[in-house]
Structure 1
Amino acid sequence: MRSISSLTGRLAAFVLACASLPALAAEPPPIFVLNSLDATVSVIEPVGWTEKTRIPTGKEPHHLYLTPDEHSLIVANSAGDSLTFLDPRTAEVQRVVYGIIDPYHLRFSPDMKWFVTAGNRLNHVDLYRWDGKEPKLVKRIPTGKTPSHIWIDGKSTTAYVTMQDSDELIAVDLATQTIRWRTPTGPMPADIFGIHDGKTLLVGLTGSDGVQVFDVAGAQPKLVGKIATGKGAHAFRAGGDGGRSVFVSNRVANTISRIDLRTLQVTDTYPVPGGPDCMDVSADGKTLYVTSRWAKKLSVIDLASRKVVRQVNVGRSPHGVWTLDHAKS
């Protein structure tokens, strides 16, 4: 019969051997792609680069946003008048909130008290109070034609919204729920990106070939410049490099430009086929995920080589893209 000490020794050796094995890596969170014409979300597994599943949503999901507590990813279904809440880690459907009228674009204020949506087809901006669980409508504000994208300043005082078909930028005062000012832009303004502590706004011109620069530090806005990027300048994404740059997708030119935020000059250009639209950046800042709107694909760009290294088939008219494992700024 083996001695107790012998068995103890073998057990200790086994435990030591197990401890020396490499730990199994946790499965990374999925990449979500909104298929606007299919009313679905593609859930992409970013190791084998396969589409794990497609989740039904309301009609025309275009944009998405993480809740302040980071427990839910909100998909805004503009023609479905609803919000679909997904688990950002598992892609499980948590709930659907109905009665949110025409939520094309959406954004939380930095203080997490306001939830703002742009009604693209119905020409209004809705201001909701957010109590951590439910949006409660405070004011519906009539705007110009086709509200497109929203950006909210760092102090949570002002929501800036582009008017795609009346070629305007408006500023909405959140305290009074009124329009503070409106100013003309170039053709078909789309996404907005704030820099210089919110004193400067970049506005992508989908109907032109670049980005307009507005000084909004004073009582009235001033157009102070334009950055040539490419035809169909549309969406922005922070560069993942600590606030030094921003990407803009040029949907018609089939390129993405990187803009240096100190010089406001284009420093890099990346060719991307199929009408590049929304973007996200990997946590290490090395990879750019882009929806190719007209090609029904998610394009993956290696930023060092400036090349598309893979594409994943998704649904029709892919628009918003997001993953929890992304660069913060």
Structure 2
Amino acid sequence: MGIGMLLTSCTSATSFREDAAVPVAPVHAVAGGRVYVTNQQDNTLSVIDARTYKVVATVPAGVAPEGVAVTKDGKHVYIANSGGARVSVLDTRNNKIVTTVPVGKSPTGVGLSPDGNSLYVANGSSNTVSVIDARTNQVSTTIRVGKSPVNVAFSPDGDTAYVANSGSGSLSAINTRTRRVDRTLPTGRSPVGVAITPDGKTAYVADEVGRQVLAVATRTGKATAVQVGEGPFDVAIGPDGHFAYSADLGPGNVSVIDTSSHRVSATIALGPPGTDPFNLEVTKEAIYVTNQGAGTLKVIDPTSRNVVATVALGTSPYGIAVS
């Protein structure tokens, strides 16, 4: 996990102070949207207005909150409490926790199925995935996977959930109908992040120790290595599938990977070593990056690839989800 120094200034597409949360002219505003970020060491969740980039609420969110997911209708947010073996459920209408769901030990990553009915929770110290029925907020089944699972991503059709197992260097491919692991794909030394392309043909996997992102063919398991910066901790795919984005802890960068060539086509600097870009969320409007060491959220214009806003958050911002 990243431990860093204060973030220094970086290039912006609009004129604003580095310590300001709001740029002069926000781009690609999202009407009514919210950005949710867990602050791991503060035990809180920051709620950010996606139009103004202002923090509108800071909510107590359990012990050591990490992974976070928001429902399609935007009414609820699921928060993995890695220190409490629970998932907290936030009602976004009043920004209050309405219930908690017991899961396995050290829940880290969470993934909501495309149909919105199931939440998959990677329990890092239990080597399991808990499946929560989103309609009842009850665990419906528990699936054994590899060692130290940390992240979950779904195929677009929802038939397969891919779980990155950092301790066993593999992806567990779970059949979501049978709730069983169908296949295990080798994926480097320490896979910590996974994202699936819109066509479902490729899984991009961040290999933190290997300093690479692997493009893994989901049908054959064939992997193509893409060298990025030190300590890639998360990976995300743009909505059109043309680019993958890697958060590289060591350099303080985001690597932009062309998915057609599997090569880094650009690098976005977010700050010096110690900034610790940690987790990513990519929408049509923006690339959002949590910076664990700097205690900030960076908002990047996906077209110009310039930073358009810096939002000050709590201590060790970790997971991110956008409504």
TM-score bracket for this pair, using the shorter chain length: 0.7 to 0.9
Residue in structure 1 matched with residue 238 of structure 2 by the alignment: 239
- Residue 75 of structure 1: which of 76, 79, 90 is its match? 79
1:226–1:128: structure 2 CA closer, same or farther, 3 Å change rule? same
1:42–1:66: structure 2 CA closer, same or farther, 3 Å change rule? closer
**What is the 5 A alignment of 1:10-21?**
none
- Residue 179 of structure 1: which of 171, 178, 181 is its match? 181
Q: Distance in 2 between matches of 1:75 and 1:232?
A: 24
1:293–1:99: structure 2 CA closer, same or farther, 3 Å change rule? same
CA contact (8 A) 2:301 2:308 kept: yes
1:163 partner amino acid: N
1:99 partner amino acid: P
Matched, 1:258 2:256: yes
**What is the 5 A alignment of 1:75-224?**
75-88=79-92, 92-93=95-96, 95-102=98-105, 103-130=107-134, 132-138=135-141, 140-195=142-197, 197-217=199-219, 221-224=220-223
Gapped regions of structure 1 (runs ≥ 5): 1-24, 325-329
Deviations 1:221-256 (A, max 9, x none): 42331112222122123325x332222211222110
2:264 partner amino acid: V
Identical positions, percent = 26
1:42–1:215: structure 2 CA closer, same or farther, 3 Å change rule? same
**What is the 5 A alignment of 1:282-293?**
283=284, 285=285, 287-293=286-292
Q: Distance in 2 between matches of 1:281 and 1:196?
A: 13
Gapped regions of structure 2 (runs ≥ 5): 1-28
2:261 partner amino acid: T
- Residue 32 of structure 1: which of 29, 36, 47 is its match? 36
Residue in structure 2 matched with residue 7 of structure 1 by the alignment: none
Which structure's CA Rg is the greater one? 1
Q: Distance in 2 between matches of 1:223 and 1:27?
A: 41
1:151–1:322: structure 2 CA closer, same or farther, 3 Å change rule? closer
- Greater RCO (CA < 8 Å, at least 6 residues apart): 2
Equivalent residues, number: 291
CA contact (8 A) 1:107 1:150 kept: yes
User: What is the TM-score of this pair, normalised by structure 2?
Assistant: 0.80
CA offset at residue 201 of structure 1?
1.3
Residue in structure 2 matched with residue 327 of structure 1 by the alignment: none
Q: Distance in 1 between matches of 2:117 and 2:100?
A: 18
CA offset at residue 292 of structure 1?
0.7
CA offset at residue 47 of structure 1?
5.7
User: What is the TM-score of this pair, normalised by structure 1?
Assistant: 0.79
Residue in structure 2 matched with residue 271 of structure 1 by the alignment: 269
CA contact (8 A) 1:254 1:272 kept: yes
2:168 partner amino acid: S
Q: Distance in 1 between matches of 2:195 and 2:168?
A: 20
1:156–1:40: structure 2 CA closer, same or farther, 3 Å change rule? same
CA offset at residue 257 of structure 1?
1.4
1:275 partner amino acid: D
CA offset at residue 182 of structure 1?
1.9
Residue in structure 1 matched with residue 310 of structure 2 by the alignment: 311
CA contact (8 A) 1:212 1:223 kept: no
CA contact (8 A) 2:172 2:181 kept: yes
CA contact (8 A) 1:167 1:186 kept: yes
CA offset at residue 319 of structure 1?
0.8
1:151–1:49: structure 2 CA closer, same or farther, 3 Å change rule? closer
1:148 partner amino acid: V
CA contact (8 A) 2:67 2:109 kept: yes
2:269 partner amino acid: P
SS in 2 for 1:222: coil
CA contact (8 A) 1:32 1:42 kept: yes
CA offset at residue 50 of structure 1?
4.0
Q: Distance in 1 between matches of 2:137 and 2:101?
A: 11
1:186 partner amino acid: G
SS in 2 for 1:263: coil
Q: Distance in 2 between matches of 1:288 and 1:158?
A: 25
1:225 partner amino acid: T
CA offset at residue 40 of structure 1?
0.4
Runs of 4+ in structure 1 deviating by more than 6 angstroms, as ranges, are: none
Q: Distance in 1 between matches of 2:145 and 2:316?
A: 27
